[in-house]
Amino acid sequence: MERNLDLIREELLEALKNKNYLKIKDIFNNYAPIDIAESLRDIDEDDADIIKAIIPIFRLVKPSITSEFFSELEPAFQEKIISSLNNEEVASLVHESSNDELADFIEEWPANVVDKVLKNASKDQRNDINKLLGYKDDTAGSIMTTEYITLLDSYTVAQAFQIIRSIGRTAETIYTLFIKNKKFDLVGVLNLDDLVFAEPDQNIIDIANKNFLTVNVNTDQEEVAQLFKRYDLNAIAVLNEDKKLTGIITIDDIVDVIEAENSEDIEAMANVAPLDDSYMNTPVFRLAFKCIPWLIVLMILNIGSIFLQDQFQFLIGTLTAISVFLTTLCDTGGNSGSQSSTLIIRGLATKDFELKDYFKVLWKEFRVALIVSTITSVFTFGFCMFMFGVNIINIPSDFKPIAGGEPEYLVWITLSGTVTISIFVTILLSKIIGASLPFLISKVKLDPAVVTGPLITTIMDLITLTTYFLLLRGSFNIFWGNYF
Amino acid sequence: MERNLDLIREELLEALKNKNYLKIKDIFNNYAPIDIAESLRDIDEDDADIIKAIIPIFRLVKPSITSEFFSELEPAFQEKIISSLNNEEVASLVHESSNDELADFIEEWPANVVDKVLKNASKDQRNDINKLLGYKDDTAGSIMTTEYITLLDSYTVAQAFQIIRSIGRTAETIYTLFIKNKKFDLVGVLNLDDLVFAEPDQNIIDIANKNFLTVNVNTDQEEVAQLFKRYDLNAIAVLNEDKKLTGIITIDDIVDVIEAENSEDIEAMANVAPLDDSYMNTPVFRLAFKCIPWLIVLMILNIGSIFLQDQFQFLIGTLTAISVFLTTLCDTGGNSGSQSSTLIIRGLATKDFELKDYFKVLWKEFRVALIVSTITSVFTFGFCMFMFGVNIINIPSDFKPIAGGEPEYLVWITLSGTVTISIFVTILLSKIIGASLPFLISKVKLDPAVVTGPLITTIMDLITLTTYFLLLRGSFNIFWGNYF
């Protein structure tokens, strides 16, 4: 199962150098086009000799295979190849390529390459590509393909097979077939397996699913993916604004959508702006500018907690040891809040629950929060006492109550107790807020994956620090009021 | 496209109450089984009347549909239904259910229900289910199904069609067919579309793909998913230790695997132990105990930074204002490190790059880090000076150098400069460590998604605090050495 891309590259370059055309054909028979294309990933696309050497592939190997190979190359590599092929070769490559892939590439190529491709496409194909280019990113229209099979509702099973056999090879899938009536309305969806199981003289509309799902060209691709997952679809019809069939989306494109949407959510959770492409394909400067904005925004959002800490400087001046808990307290609040918000964001994204289930989720999360905060704060008390006991944290001997003869363990207990109650309050609130924010953010139509993280950290910092400092001031007053 | 589950439930319960059997059949014709099953999600499975009311569904509606409906119900609900059906009805339900789903359910049901199901399964089915139960979670064996079609390599296309038409309905898919020779070795994989395009008297082995991929029963499901994505597969053959075909995995199961693996990664990033089930299906106590361990571990990991802060208490005692930057500095280090580590973990998970590409990735991330740290630290200096200027942060007037007549702006510049240099060092190192840790953790065969987050936060806290405190001590000595 291990693919040895280095070996493929070596074999291929060797064969190309020696003009061993039999061997080249052999390589394309034995390896998947994506593996061959990827084996060339490290090659310098500005190396004219390499490009020149590769061109014969497009003359020797079947266009159905070279088009797949071509589609897996880097855009810069594709450009060079298009420029080196003659018009006839470009036409054959374009003919075999699927329109939705061409539309995607065209957005990356320079104008002269795009011109050469469109000039060599058939009029139909050109129209389809232009149509696909018109849809907004991340909509059903932008991921659909226009190469599908439609059958008339009056056909028999035998007639359907005839059509499929004659034009099926140009379609993206023959596993799902679309049935139109004479008015060009979509009236049924037929799976190839139903066709196989049917009798030749049956009418296709009788065995078709007339209760089928469709999406609109503007439907968000994430919603389309949800439908595929929920109903185990193989393909879905895409309708335009006039409710006419205008394209289809197949499961293999949806697998890519699911991965892309997941990457986007994961990037958002790590406060990285969506990359739009893989890490390797994203240039250094673009990567840096995906990271910088959030780092700066998060720093600015800290203004509140900085101001708050400044207001309580006098407490830290009284006993510097209280400052050593600041980072741990804020970390715990942020961690526990993001545990909850992440579970809720994921639940909403995978449709485990919906916006209307808010109170059910809140009640559940409240009970979870009670358990987590109780157990964690019991631990916290022991943890703090331990750190005092083994001198990881020291109370300066010039702390007025100590200098005045109060026992040190009373200071330990007071500080540990304050930290413990702060942790209890922080975890309880962080889970409730963490469960609520994603609902609120979805309700106002923002992306909860992007907005929740920074918001919850900021809010929790403020709550945690306020609780901690107020409790400290209170316990200082109660226990050692007469010393200050 | 909006599914109104409330409406479905109302219609169904109404029809069941009135024994309107025509209406019940109608509902199962009009709605997807998953929607009907989910509409019953909020119903109390301990309500004997409801269970009794639902039972007729299994007598009225086609078993192929009720088995799908049944498979989407909650395990507790399924239990009650199995217990209420007679043996014959259970047999028909089991016959229509797919073996891999039954094996999954059996792990959730109590022994008496499992007994009733297995007793009513055919001997073949019972063997298959027991086989499936034997595979470890998350392996190809645990997600494969045993219902597939094999054809002999001597068959013609016409013969293949005959077989498919006679036994195809019991298979999980007919879109991918598996060809064996007389010794039961898998010798080819055939897509249904190739069969459709072929001539009836062609030999199937001639049109089959003989260069096919397979996985082993013990292959990790994530690896299987990678193959499906890379090669746009519809189904893959699973071989046992003797290299014989023992099951297949289809694309709809892989879509679920991709979602599950992504959920696991996302949960790990948020420091939640893997849920194994959806949020809604996980009981409160189990959810709490998925959150508690990491909160406590993360707190314990803070020991180093608490100790460090304790060691530098004397600096904070000299100038309490320096403590207000602690949380922001640690946040920034953590954020920038997790930006890098997340991108790298994702890149490794989606095979954008591999372990051997470490130096390529490191060099890229180093350049990204230089840009990010330079720009962010320039911003930091302005940001700090601004906060001093508008009195968000105040320098106490009893700070010795101020009391001794030094200009306050010199303190502003010194502190802002120290914070700025700390941010520069922190971001630079956090990105380099964030890029390296996932490689290291993968290398030692741990899951980078789980281990990286806590490690990077802990390491970065130590580095950030050390840098900050050392720089502070240095600049205090240089500028105001004579005051202390």
pLDDT tens digits, one per residue of A3-46: 688 889 888 888 888 888 889 888 998 888 998 988 887 777 77
What is the pLDDT averaged over residues B178-195? Answer: 93
User: In this predicted model, what pLDDT tens digit does every residue of A155-205 receive, in sequence order?
Assistant: 999 999 999 999 888 888 999 999 999 998 999 999 999 999 999 999 999
Q: Which of residues 316-345 of A touch B (CB under 8 A)?
A: 316-317, 320-321, 323-328, 330-332, 335-336, 338-344
Task: Enumerate residues 6+ apart whose C-beta is below 8 A from A73.
Answer: A37, A40, A81
User: In this predicted model, what pLDDT tens digit does every residue of B39-54 receive, in sequence order?
Assistant: 887 777 777 778 888 8
User: In this predicted model, what pLDDT tens digit does every residue of A50-109 receive, in sequence order?
Assistant: 888 888 888 888 888 899 999 998 888 898 889 889 898 899 898 888 888 888 888 888
Q: Is the pLDDT of residue B445 over 90?
A: no
> Does any CB of chain B come closer than 8 Å to the CB of residue A385?
no
Q: What is the DSSP string of A212-256?
A: --EEETTSBHHHHHHHHHHHT-SEEEEE-TTS-EEEEEEHHHHHH
> Does any CB of chain B come closer than 8 Å to the CB of residue A313?
yes
Nearest to B295 among A32, A300, A372 (CB): A372
Long-range residue pairs from A206-211, CB within 8 A, at least 24 positions apart, any chain: A207/A157, A208/A179, A211/B29, A211/B30
> Does any CB of chain A come closer than 8 Å to the CB of residue B371?
yes
Q: Is the pLDDT of residue A130 over 90?
A: no
Residues of A in contact with B98 (CB under 8 A): none
C-beta atoms surrounding B110 within 10 Å: 11
pTM above 0.90, yes or no: no
Q: Which of residues 263-292 of A touch B (CB under 8 A)?
A: 263, 265-267, 269-272, 275, 278-280, 284-285, 287-288, 291-292
User: In this predicted model, what pLDDT tens digit does every residue of B364-407 receive, in sequence order?
Assistant: 999 999 999 999 999 999 999 999 999 999 998 889 899 888 89
Nearest-Cα residue of chain B relative to residue A428? B288
pLDDT for B2 equals: 46
Tokens of residue B284, six digits: 């409160």
Nearest to A330 among B317, B327, B341 (CB): B327
Task: Enumerate residues 6+ apart whose C-beta is below 8 A from B391.
Answer: none
The alpha-carbon gap from B119 to the nearest alpha carbon of chain A, in Å, equals 30
Indicate yes or no: CB of B342 within 8 angstroms of CB of A267.
yes
Q: Is the pLDDT of residue B1 over 80?
A: no
3-state class of A190 per DSSP? Answer: strand
Nearest-Cα residue of chain B relative to residue A263? B346
Mutate which: B164, B303, B320, vs A, most A CBs within 10 A: B320
Residue with tokens 């559940």: A364
Rg of chain A over Cα atoms, rounded to whole angstroms, equals 32
Residue B3 — pLDDT band, cuts 50, 70, 90?
A: low
Nearest-Cα residue of chain A relative to residue B72? A230
What is the pLDDT averaged over residues B111-123? Answer: 90
Q: Is the pLDDT of residue B203 over 90?
A: yes
Indicate yes or no: CB of B310 within 8 angstroms of CB of A392.
yes
Nearest to A255 among B255, B317, B379 (CB): B255
Q: Report whether A133 contacts B161 (CB < 8 A).
A: no
> Does any CB of chain A come closer than 8 Å to the CB of residue B309?
yes
Query: Could you tell me what percent of chain A has a pLDDT over 90?
Result: 54
Q: Report whether B92 contacts B66 (CB < 8 A).
A: no
Query: Could you tell me what percent of chain A has a pLDDT over 70?
Result: 99
> Does any CB of chain B come closer than 8 Å to the CB of residue A209?
no
Rg of chain B over Cα atoms, rounded to whole angstroms, equals 32
> Does any CB of chain A come closer than 8 Å to the CB of residue B199?
no
Cα first-last separation, chain B: 74
Mutate which: A368, A381, A456, A468, vs B, most B CBs within 10 A: A368
What is the pLDDT averaged over residues A115-135? Answer: 89
Q: Which bin fits B209, alpha (ψ -120 to 50), beta or left (φ > 0)?
A: beta
Question: What is the number of helices (H) and of strands (E) in chain A?
Answer: 25, 6
> Does any CB of chain B come closer than 8 Å to the CB of residue A229?
yes
Average pLDDT across chain A, whole number: 91
Residue type (1 letter), A267: E
Nearest to A232 by CA among B137, B278, B35, B223: B35
Tokens of residue B300, six digits: 């314990």
Q: What is this model's ipTM?
A: 0.82
What is the pLDDT averaged over residues B101-106? Answer: 88
Residue type (1 letter), A312: F
Distance CA A99, CA B471 (A): 59
Nearest-Cα residue of chain B relative to residue A374? B292
Nearest-Cα residue of chain B relative to residue A392? B307
What is the pLDDT averaged over residues B321-330? Answer: 93
Task: Enumerate residues 6+ apart whose C-beta is below 8 A from B358.
Answer: B436, B439
Q: Is the pLDDT of residue B237 over 90?
A: yes
Q: Report whether B16 contacts B24 (CB < 8 A).
A: yes
Nearest to A372 by CA among A435, A323, A298: A435
pLDDT for A1 equals: 35
Residues of B in contact with A393 (CB under 8 A): 306-307, 310
DSSP H helical ranges for B277-407? 284-301, 303-311, 313-318, 326-349, 358-389, 400-403
Q: Which of residues 60-79 of B touch A (CB under 8 A)?
A: none
The alpha-carbon gap from A80 to the nearest alpha carbon of chain B, in Å, equals 23
Tokens of residue B185, six digits: 């070795």
User: In this predicted model, what pLDDT tens digit does every residue of A369-422 receive, in sequence order?
Assistant: 999 999 999 999 999 999 999 999 999 888 989 988 889 999 999 999 999 999
Nearest-Cα residue of chain A relative to residue B286? A368
Residue type (1 letter), B178: F
- For A29, what's the count of Cα atoms within 13 Å in the CB-facing half-sphere? 9
Nearest to B197 among A168, A284, A305 (CB): A168
* Chain A, chain B: beta-carbon pairs less than 8 Å apart: 329
Question: What is the number of helices (H) and of strands (E) in chain B?
Answer: 25, 6
3-state class of A319 per DSSP? Answer: coil
Residue A2 — pLDDT band, cuts 50, 70, 90?
A: very low
Indicate yes or no: CB of A263 within 8 angstroms of CB of B350.
yes
